[in-house]
Chain A
Amino acid sequence: MLNGIAAAAIAVWTASAAFCAADLRRPDARLREWALYAGYLALALSVGLAIGVARADSPDALLAVDGVLVVLSVLIGVGLLVVRRSTSLSAMGILVAPASAALLGLFVSLNQSALQPPRHPGAMLTAHIGAATLGLALFGLASFLSALYLLQERQLKKRSFGPLFQRLPSVSELDRLTFRLTIGGFIVYTFALGLGILWAFHIGETGLLVRIYLAIGAWVVFAFVLQTRITTGWRGRQAAWLTILGTAVACAVLALYLVA
């Protein structure tokens, strides 16, 4: 049942991505409408899946890695619908929709029972996982915007004034949105990291050290991006690349849980 809902959500996210791609290739208001409706439907299915996961076992099931994947897909889906007002739905959709579909695909491949949620997680672990998931979603959206920034900046520098150039938002808008999302993600992620370290020491689990170092590495990257931006105004290509790098490192922490 849950796999069926996930498969339906993957199919609708894929359709939404296809409409976005077609609109980028040849702008058409109807395609954008279809992409948006497909996005709403896919998001509704993902929310339904998250509720299904919680009800099948217990709400704690959402704290297991597969549950986190579903919540993450919901969060970046919501993020897409929020940021589409300030940027291009099609440009963001072509990145977010496949990412959401991939997260759900990973959920299906894990086959639910393979991963057990932590027993009696407690408030600290719940807050840690919740904040880390939200932070990762915000960093993910920021890195998608950074990718669009790099693409649009390249179009400007290479003088490629084709349809993609016309459809992508301005570099300043992309930069501004990335900055805001990075700040939001950084605050939440700092909270998650602090709780995570405290929890690891609390249970005396030394096997988590690599993950902690990686998470601190991601935190340092984002701290550097934000600190230089605020103090010297540093921004642009390098900042965009570092945002993507930071997100990749943060994702690696989640990947380690999967591998473990």
Chain B
Amino acid sequence: MNRNLLITGLSHRSAPVEMRERLGVLDVDREGALSTLQDGEVIDEVAIISTCNRVEVVCAGNDADRMQVRLHQSLEQLAGVNAHWMQRYTRSFRDEEAIRHLFRVSSSLDSLVIGEPQILGQVKEAFATWKSLGGTSTLLNRTFSHAFRTAKRVRNETQIAENAVSVSYAAVELARKVFGELKGRRVLVVGAGKMGSLAAVHLREAGANRIDIVNRSLDRARELATQLDAAAYSFEELDARMAEADIVITSTGSQNYIINRDRLKGVMARRKYRPLFLVDIAVPRDIDPRCDQLGNVYLFDVDDLERVVEANKEARLVEAERAEQIVGHEVLEHQRWIASAEAVPTIVSLRQKLTELKDAEVERLLRSNQKLDPEALAAAEKLATQLVNKILHEPTISLREAAADDSPQLVRAARRLFKLDEEDATAALPPTKPRKA
């Protein structure tokens, strides 16, 4: 009998946040949810992925239709919603589609921002939690592990997670295109705006080692400097600070340009024409756009940063196509494993039968030769065990391959040939581990 996988839940694609909150209750009382969902009869393995963008129940059992009905009933009961609500907002994936969905989610292909790095950690954490609660066993353990391997492949073999997709990180990315390594670079924040300080924090995380803040109000500059572990300066020192800085971020509320072409020309001569990266995130702008015409000056405003983000999003979509191919390949591999696992009961029975035969023969040898040396007996038993292992090696591989290739004839032939107990064949996978109390 086949083992089935089922995923039911909702995400940013199917339901607004206020609806997603309704199923969020599953992640609050996990043990209660587990005892309701994992009945040991229809659903025997359960894990719930709960993030700000999705709540999805991943489960395994032996009958997909019954699992679906049972799961819907349980979710209605746990979340206090009705069948109409479930039908409207939730989506379900079965078997191959369920594997594909889990692999895509883990690989960040189903995320709001494709390629975002957090989702893999969230899925790993969810799996670890539900595994520790006893919710998962062979099928889900292997499926989640394979999902994590797939996500790693996608990350290593594609550029899906590269390049910034937020405005503040876009500034970091552009700075890298001007300077390469940001280690040791000096950042000057002009103005005490939130966006400016956020970009400065990102730049420091990327390696910039010193932040200076210049503001019209020195008190406000000092306040922000304390928060950012930076140095505060008065507005009169702007030119001197610019001459030393590598990166300048402006976000003042000024209605006029505070840095014009002539002023910057003087600053560039003072700094011996070392490259200067300017990010003007103020509206209206703080820096005269003609400054960008100066050599070794790289000036970008908010619209430019948005353009970087858009270009990167497009690049990620192209990479997503490659990632989908990797996912498709891994889904096939995983399906092969599930199919090959159907030979497990036959292999277990075969091994058991041969082991029993071996034990009986060793016992007979012991009875017929009472005076047999214990060492000789141990050697004989070892020889018999090795023989059993060697005899079983090739058939085990062949049976697994036959099951994976969807050719049950060989499995049936083995059962007939060795007169194996037919009852064992009903369970496709090794028995589920007992649930923790």
A27 at the interface (CB under 8 A from B): yes
Report the separation of the CA atoms of residues A17 and B389 in the bound assembly, to the nearest whole angstrom.
54
| Complex partner residue of B177 from A156, A175, A233, A234, CB under 8 angstroms | A156
0/1 string, A215-257, CB within 8 A of B gives 1: 0000000000000000011111110000000000000000000
Is B89 on the interface with A (CB-CB < 8 A)? Answer: no
Interface centre among A156, A173, A238 (most CB of B within 10 A): A156
Q: Mark B146-168, 1 if CB is under 8 A from A, else 0.
A: 00000000000101001100000
0/1 per residue, B315-357, Cβ < 8 Å to A?
1001000000000000000000000000000000000000000
Decide: B315 and A172 in contact? CB cutoff 8 A.
no
CA distance A231 to B318 in the complex (A): 47
Asked if A119 is at the interface of the complex by the 8 Å CB criterion, the answer is no
B63 at interface (Cβ–Cβ under 8 A)?
no
Task: Classify chain B's interface size.
Answer: 20 to 34
Task: Point out the residue from A170, A172, A233 that lies within 8 Å of B273, measured CB to CB.
Answer: A233
Q: Is the C-beta of B296 less than 8 angstroms from some C-beta in chain A? A: yes
Interface status of A15 (Cβ within 8 A of chain B): no
Q: How many residues of chain A are within 8 Å of chain B by beta carbon?
A: 26
Interface string of A114-151 (1 = CB under 8 A from B): 00000000000000000000000000000000000000
Q: B428 on the interface (CB 8 Å rule)?
A: no
Q: Which of A47-55, A67-75, A102-110, A161-169 contacts B (4 or more CB under 8 A)?
A: A161-169
Interface centre among A169, A172, A173, A235 (most CB of B within 10 A): A172
Which listed segment binds A: B49-57, B201-209, B306-314?
Answer: B306-314
Contact B292 A157 (CB under 8 A): yes
The interface residues of chain B lying within 8 Å CB-to-CB of A236 are: 273, 295-296
CA distance A237 to B292 in the complex (A): 13
Count A-B pairs with CB separation below 8 Å: 54
Are B177's CB and A152's CB within 8 A?
yes
Decide yes or no whether A1 CB sits under 8 A from chain B: no
A171 within 8 A of B: yes
In Å, the complex CA distance between A165 and B273 comes to: 23
Q: Which residues of B contact A233 (CB under 8 A)?
A: 271-274
List residues of B (256-306) whose CB comes within 8 Å of A's CBs. 271-275, 292, 295-296, 298, 300, 304
Q: Name which residue of chain A comes closest to B272, CB basis.
A: A233
Q: A235, B273: Cβ atoms under 8 Å?
A: yes
Residues on B with C-beta less than 8 A from A173 are 180
- Chain B residues with Cβ below 8 Å from A162 are 311
Asked whether B295 lies within 8 Å of A237 as measured between CB atoms, the reply is yes
Contact of B93 with A by CB under 8 A: no
Decide: B295 and A170 in contact? CB cutoff 8 A: no
User: With the chains together, A165 CA to B298 CA distance in Å?
Assistant: 15
* B contact residues around A165 at 8 Å (CB): 177
23 pairs, A vs B, C-beta closer than 8 Å:
A26-B318, A156-B178, A156-B298, A157-B298, A159-B300, A161-B311, A163-B315, A166-B163, A170-B177, A170-B179, A171-B178, A171-B275, A172-B178, A172-B180, A175-B275, A232-B272, A232-B273, A233-B273, A235-B296, A236-B273, A236-B296, A237-B295, A238-B295
With A159-B304, A163-B315, A171-B178 already in contact, 16 other A-B pairs whose C-beta atoms are closer than 8 Å: A29-B157, A152-B177, A156-B174, A161-B308, A165-B177, A166-B162, A170-B176, A172-B178, A172-B180, A175-B275, A232-B272, A232-B273, A233-B274, A235-B273, A235-B296, A236-B296
Binding site for B on A (CB under 8 A): 26-27, 29, 152, 156-157, 159, 161-163, 165-166, 168-173, 175, 232-238
